[in-house]
Amino acid sequence: MAELTAKTPCAGLLPISAGRVTVTEVDPGPMTAIAPFKGKEKTLAGALDRAHGLGGPAPGQTRVKGHVRILWFGHAHALLVGVAPKPTLARHAALTDQGDAWAVVQVEGAEARDVLARLTPLDLRDAVFAVDATARTELAHMQAAITRVGAQAWQMMVFRSMATTLVHDLDAAMRGVAARR
Amino acid sequence: MRIPCPICGNRDSREFDYMGHALTLDRPAPDAGLGAWDDYLHNRENPAGPTRDLWFHGLGCGAWLVVSRDTVTHEVFGAELARDVTGGRA
Ligand SMILES: [Zn+2]
């Protein structure tokens, strides 16, 4: 039988750095979309807490416990990252495996916010987008999810098929910011 | 132009798709007759002033919104989830 080698979405593309910004690929582990059945939002939050020690995230928020993270991921659904969901959750929500479907990168550094400001209309100021805030938004014309994971660090997700475009646009923005220092 | 998504907050209009006048939420009964269906499918007002449209937050949370705005001043008065406007009916 053929031996298949798993490749990450950004294999051969990352890491890159320019100026005071670095982009690295993130291996998120398992990712599962969790969409509560009608009227099950409350019982799902309890089930999530019992199963993974994390409740349902409010819009625009993430909850973190150890290496497990749950992101608000849009209208009436969330994304569980870093662990496979316990089967008990299926009584309250539709569970959809999203592993391998997304490219996940971390943009980090003193000028990371200036780079992102060239690519997304999202308001990234501290007062609006604090650490652990998350948003679904536009990133260089792509559907994206952006999560702030540190004072100068943001994780960005786009569909896996767009990984090369993501890295290309980040690279151009990084060089533009660096050139104007 | 910014649209105040009830879920995401104020967002740039480039995150949204315009999906036509909100009257499409008021679908006629199947037996309402050809006149009512013709009107529903094809005839639209072209208001100079306040109007209500559907907008899809496709590069955001994915919700459909009913947005109230003014076509003359471009003022956006507010937005509601289409689901709340229709009470969940399709
Ligand atoms: Zn939204």
pLDDT of residue B14: 95
Query: Which residue in chain B has the smallest CA separation from A59?
Result: B7
What local confidence, expressed as pLDDT, does residue B90 receive?
Answer: 54
For chain A, the DSSP string reads --------TTTTT--EEETTEEEEE-----EEEEEEPTT-HHHHHHHHHHHHS--PPPTTBEEEETTEEEEE-STT-EEEESSPPPGGGGGTEEEEE-TTSEEEEEEEETTHHHHHHTT--S---TTTS-TTBEEEEEETTEEEEEEEEETTEEEEEEEGGGHHHHHHHHHHHHHHHHHT-
Looking at residue A52, its amino acid is H
For range A57-66, the mean pLDDT: 94
A122 CB neighbours in chain B (<8 A) are: 11
Q: How far, in Å, from the CA of B65 to the mean position of ligand 1? A: 8
What are the structural domains of chain B?
2-85 (3.30.2270.10)
Tokens of A27: 């291996």
Average pLDDT, integer, range A14-32: 97
B62/A contact by beta carbon, under 8 A: yes
Q: Mean pLDDT throughout A104-133?
A: 97
Residues of A in contact with B63 (CB under 8 A): 74-75
Q: What is the pLDDT of residues A36-46, one digit of tens each?
A: 999 999 999 99
With cut-offs at 50, 70 and 90, classify the pLDDT of residue A21.
very high
Selecting from A59, A121, A122 the residue whose C-beta is nearest the C-beta of B7 gives: A59
| Per-residue pLDDT, A98 | 96
- Which tokens is A105 given? 């990168």
What is the model's pTM? Answer: 0.92
DSSP B9: E
| pLDDT confidence bin for A6, thresholds 50/70/90 | confident
Q: Over 60: is that where the pLDDT of A58 sits?
A: yes
Is B28 an 8 Å CB contact of chain A? no
**In this predicted structure, what is the pLDDT of residue A151?**
97
The residue with tokens 């495996």 is A97
CA of A37 from ligand 1 middle (Å) equals 20
The CA distance from B57 to the nearest CA of chain A, in Å, is 9
Residue-level pLDDT at B87? 80
Q: What is the mean pLDDT of chain A?
A: 96
Question: Is the pLDDT at A171 greater than 80, yes or no?
Answer: yes
More reliable by pLDDT, A34 or B89: A34
Q: How confident is the model at residue A55 (pLDDT cuts 50, 70, 90)?
A: confident
Percentage of residues of chain A with pLDDT beyond 70: 100
Distance from CA of B35 to the nearest CA of A (A): 36
Instruction: Classify domain A16-27+100-179 at the CATH superfamily level.
Output: Probable tRNA modification gtpase trme; domain 1 (3.30.1360.120)
* CA-based nearest distance A3→chain B, Å: 38
Looking at CA atoms only, how far is residue B19 from chain A in angstroms? 18
| pLDDT (average), residues B17-35 | 95
Q: What is the pLDDT of residues A89-105, one digit of tens each?
A: 999 999 999 999 999 99
Asked if B14's CB is within 8 angstroms of A121's CB, the reply is yes
- The token duo for A51 is 């199963």
Among the partner residues A75, A135, A138, nearest to B62 by beta-carbon distance: A75
| Every domain of chain A and the residues it spans | 16-27+100-179, 31-97
